[in-house]
Structures are given as structure tokens and as C-alpha cells.
């Protein structure tokens, strides 16, 4: 029996948030700073943002219906965006963490059948509900630190059915939590046991799954792991041609462990982002700059794997390549659920400035997801913002191990904490 859809939920009431110290990340001034600011929110959007003393006359006509909140000088920033995660999976890899500390490398473990394959086995064995409940716990941990949008990749199912259900779990998170969710198909994450020694045949299969994922509304972008222990540039290119034919944007795990020329390849397809990039070459940087591709750096994985080769931050900066930062939350190489910690790591390990790191989890993170309605605070954008127990955002990059998040607003609605 067909049922008519229920009534749409009423939009949140209008709000006037006043007397904030505002880091809007609008161009023109460092941090997009406004010392005594107001934000007028209606219908889930920012209707006006600017100095409190310059509130437009139109506000007066709406005051009877506006909830007015005096922030008494608290810091307000855009909602944080975690643009690279693998939140949906089963099991953990704590035993492999111990192995690495006893001398095994990430590559050694992967080639011995551990690594991603061990998580694939645990994910396939888990029920949909178990995957959802575990992923929801992880998502709420990010939300507690002010994350309002997250990207979630598949890549731990590696069959048509299991990849689809992992993407469906990610979509469910976006429906049931006050969280923006973008999904990425990462079937080209590792070679499953059913295709041992047949990487080209597996890429053929992964390509065949894409159209069904798109028809089911499960996928926003396509990714691949282009690496010596992943897939070759030629295999990656075939996948990207298929994504392009379906109108799906691409991104790439590129140059993490070696220089495979993946960044330049992805840039030819207008990739939204190339991620990791410790071994990125000057040619890759030039290609990304020309394509407008975001460099998405993942300091948690760099730290956890005890890497020593830094991504070429100075060269990226000089070339004008936008830099984003993310947790890369996954069970094998970055089991971290703190984007605030990534701010500090980006500064201490990669030598980003605090403002660059902050732009990496707001403006440039939105760009890495192809989103133009968030990441800044300006009229017409989504009302996604965070109120902090701090005077300036540099404090959040400076301190680590604490959470000064006071209030979170997502789509104009305050998120219960």
C-alpha cells in the first residue's frame, strides 16, 4: 500500500543571536572577524550577518516572532566540516596497532591479509543495525565538538550488496541525526579476497555497481585508493571515466605512501580533492592548482602511522592550492574522533597557521565536498554555527585535549547536547 508523505516539519523559529565575537571566514579581513556581531536566522538560513550596531531596519518588523539570544561576547564560528571519514565499519584493529609497535609496517600487515581486509570481514559480518549504532556513536562524538557536516565513505564492504548497505547506513545517519552527511563510494579501497590476483576484474565490478548506487540515491562522489597496495593509476582512471559518465564528482586517496601520479590524474578529472599527499610532486601541485582541486591533509593518519615525510605545505601554499583538514577517522590508520585535535596537529606537525587550519575545517572543507552553502557565515548560507567558550578561534588550535563547545546550531536548529 502506498502512503502519502507526512507533513514537513515546521522550520525552526527565527532567532537573533547578538553580541558575538564572530569569525565569519568571509574575505576581506583576517578570520573574517567582527568584534560585536549579530546573526539573524530564519528558515534554517542566515538572513543577515554583521556588526550588531548595524542591524538592518527589517529586523524590527520581525522582533515579535524572533527569539533573541545575547551571547555576551562569546566566540561564534561556522559549523565544523569533517570532509574525509570512514565512519561505517565493523570491529576494530587494536591488535594491528600492537603489531606495528612491535615492528610490522602498515604495508606488511596489509600484504599479510590484515589491514583493510580484516575490517571488511568484520563489516560484512555485522548487521545493518549494528553498523548504524556504531557509526552513530562515532558521529555524535564529532558533533559534540561542533561538527555539523561530515563526509562518509564506503570501502569496507567490497561486494555490491555490502557497499550499498554501508552507503545506506551513512544516508540513515543524515536522516536521523542533526548532521549533514555526504556519501562517497570507495569500492576501490582494497582488493577483496574473492578477486585475489584479479584487480582489473574487480575494478570492472566496482564500475558496474556505480549506476545502481546512483539510482538508489546512495552516492554523492567517487573515490579510490591509488597506491602500491591499492590500485594503479590506469585502474583508477577507468573508474573515474565511469564516474564522469554518470555525472559523479571524484576525489582520490593520493600520494600517501609513494608518488603514483594520482593527484595529477585526479586533477584532469576536476577532482574535488586529493587526500593525504605526503609524497605529492611539483607536477601534482601544479595540476591541482590549475584544476582548483583541494589538498585535503590528514594529520591523524600521519601521526598514527609515524610517517616522517611531510606533505609539501609551503609549495601548496605558494601555488594557491586550497588546503583542508579532516580526521580521516578509520579503524586502521586514524582511529581519531576529534576534529579539534586535528586543528592542533595541522599546526604543530604540518606548520599551518591557526587561521589556515581553521579554514581547513570550514571554508576549504566545504569546497572539498562541493558544497557552497556552508563553511562561512554570510547572508543566504545555511545557519550552521558553533558558540564556543573562548575569545578567539586560535585558542582552539592552541589547546588540545579539551572541548570548549557550548552550543551548536545546524540548519537553524539548536542541537541538543
Q: Are residues 74 and 215 in the same domain?
A: no
Instruction: Decide: pTM greater than 0.75.
Output: yes
Whether residue 193 sits in one domain with residue 70: no
Is residue 265 domain-shared with residue 348, that is, in the same domain? yes
Q: How far apart are CA 97 and CA 95, in angstroms?
A: 5
Residue 3 lies in a domain: no
Confidence of residue 177 (pLDDT cuts 50, 70, 90): very high
| Same domain flag for 57 and 135 | no
pLDDT tens digits, 240-294? 999 999 999 999 999 999 999 999 999 999 999 999 999 999 999 999 999 999 9
Structural domains in the chain (count): 2
Q: Which helix (H) or strand (E) holds 253?
A: strand 252-254
pLDDT category of residue 397 using cuts at 50, 70 and 90: very high
Assess whether pLDDT exceeds 70 at residue 43.
yes
pLDDT tens digits, residue range 82-137?
999 999 999 999 988 888 889 988 778 877 777 888 899 999 999 999 999 999 99
**Does 8 have pLDDT greater than 50?**
no
| Burial annotation 1-32 (CB, 10 A radius, 16+ → b, else e) | eeeeeeeeeeebebbbbbbbbbbbbbeeeebb
pLDDT for the residue numbered 12: 65
Domain boundary, last residue among 368, 385, 400: 368
In the three-class reduction of DSSP (H, G, I as helix; E, B as strand; rest coil), residue 152 is classed as: strand
Q: Are residues 104 and 227 in the same domain?
A: yes
Confidence of residue 417 (pLDDT cuts 50, 70, 90): confident
Please compute, for residue 359, the number of CA atoms within 13 A of its CA located in the half-sphere on the CB side.
Answer: 19
| pLDDT given for residue 6 in this prediction | 42
> pLDDT at position 4, please?
39
Q: Do 29 and 139 fall within a single domain? A: no
Residues 72 and 213 in one domain: no
Q: Which long-range contacts (CB under 8 A, 24 or more apart) does 107-115 make?
A: 107/228, 107/229, 107/257, 110/190, 110/229, 111/229, 115/190, 115/229, 115/332
Same domain? For 150 and 269 the reply is yes
Whole-number percent of the chain with pLDDT over 90:
88
351 close to 325: Cβ distance less than 8 angstroms: no
Please choose, from the candidates 248, 206, 246, the residue with its C-alpha nearest in 3D space to the C-alpha of residue 225: 206
113 vs 365: which has the higher pLDDT: 365
d(CA 34, CA 24): 8
pLDDT for 162 beyond 60: yes
Same domain, 240 and 388: no
- CATH code for the domain in which residue 398 is found: 2.30.40.10
Q: Mean pLDDT, to the nearest integer, of 167-178? A: 98
In this prediction, residue 11 carries a pLDDT of: 56
Together in a domain, 102 and 209 = yes
Mean pLDDT across the stretch 322-343?
97
CATH at residue 198: 3.20.20.140
Same domain, 408 and 343: no
Range of the domain at 392: 15-78+376-414
> Is there a single domain that holds both residue 162 and residue 206?
yes
Amino acid at each position: 500500500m502506498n502512503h502519502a508523505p507526512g507533513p514537513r516539519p515546521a522550520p525552526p523559529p527565527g532567532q537573533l543571536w547578538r553580541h558575538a565575537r564572530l569569525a565569519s571566514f568571509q574575505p576581506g579581513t583576517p578570520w573574517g572577524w567582527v568584534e560585536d556581531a549579530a546573526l539573524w536566522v530564519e528558515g534554517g538560513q542566515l538572513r543577515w550577518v554583521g556588526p550588531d550596531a548595524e542591524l538592518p531596519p527589517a529586523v524590527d518588523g520581525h522582533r515579535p516572532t524572533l527569539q533573541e539570544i545575547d551571547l555576551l561576547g562569546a566566540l561564534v564560528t561556522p559549523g565544523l566540516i569533517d570532509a574525509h571519514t570512514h565512519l561505517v565499519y565493523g570491529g576494530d584493529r587494536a591488535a594491528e596497532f600492537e603489531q606495528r609497535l612491535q615492528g610490522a609496517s602498515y604495508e606488511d600487515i596489509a600484504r599479510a591479509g590484515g589491514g583493510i581486509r580484516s575490517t571488511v570481514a568484520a563489516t560484512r559480518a555485522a548487521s545493518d543495525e549494528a553498523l548504524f549504532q556504531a557509526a552513530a556513536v562515532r558521529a555524535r562524538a564529532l558533533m559534540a565538538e561542533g561538527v555539523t557536516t561530515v563526509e562518509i565513505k564506503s570501502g569496507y564492504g567490497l561486494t555490491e550488496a555490502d557497499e550499498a548497505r554501508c552507503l545506506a547506513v551513512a544516508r540513515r545517519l543524515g536522516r536521523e541525526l542533526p548532521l549533514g552527511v555526504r556519501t562517497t563510494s570507495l569500492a576501490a579501497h582494497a582488493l577483496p579476497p574473492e578477486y585475489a590476483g584479479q584487480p582489473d576484474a574487480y575494478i570492472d565490478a566496482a564500475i558496474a555497481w556505480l549506476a545502481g548506487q546512483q539510482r538508489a540515491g546512495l552516492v554523492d562522489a567517487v573515490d579510490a585508493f591509488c597506491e602500491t597496495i591499492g590500485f594503479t593509476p590506469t585502474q583508477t582512471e577507468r573508474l573515474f571515466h565511469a564516474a564522469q559518465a554518470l555525472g559523479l564528482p571524484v576525489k582520490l586517496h593520493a600520494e600517501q605512501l609513494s608518488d603514483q601520479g594520482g593527484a595529477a590524474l585526479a586533477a584532469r578529472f576536476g577532482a574535488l580533492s586529493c587526500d593525504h599527499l605526503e609524497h605529492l610532486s611539483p607536477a601534482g601541485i601544479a595540476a591541482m592548482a590549475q584544476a582548483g582541486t583541494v589538498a585535503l591533509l590528514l594529520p591523524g593518519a600521519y601521526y598514527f602511522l609515524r610517517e616522517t615525510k611531510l606533505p609539501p605545505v609551503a609549495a601548496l601554499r605558494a601555488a594557491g592550492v586550497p588546503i583542508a583538514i579532516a580526521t580521516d577517522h578509520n579503524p586502521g590508520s586514524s582511529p581519531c574522533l576529534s576534529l579539534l585535535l586535528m586543528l592542533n596537529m595541522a599546526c604543530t606537525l604540518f606548520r599551518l597557521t591557526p587561521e589556515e587550519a581553521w579554514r581547513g575545517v570550514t571554508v576549504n572543507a566545504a569546497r572539498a565536498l562541493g558544497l557552497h552553502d556552508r563553511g562561512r557565515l554570510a547572508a543566504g548560507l545555511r545557519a550552521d554555527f558553533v558558540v564556543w567558550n573562548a575569545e578567539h578561534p586560535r585558542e582552539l588550535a592552541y589547546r588540545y585535549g579539551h572541548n570548549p563547545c557550548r552550543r551548536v546550531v545546524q540548519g537553524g536548529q539548536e542541537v541538543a547536547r
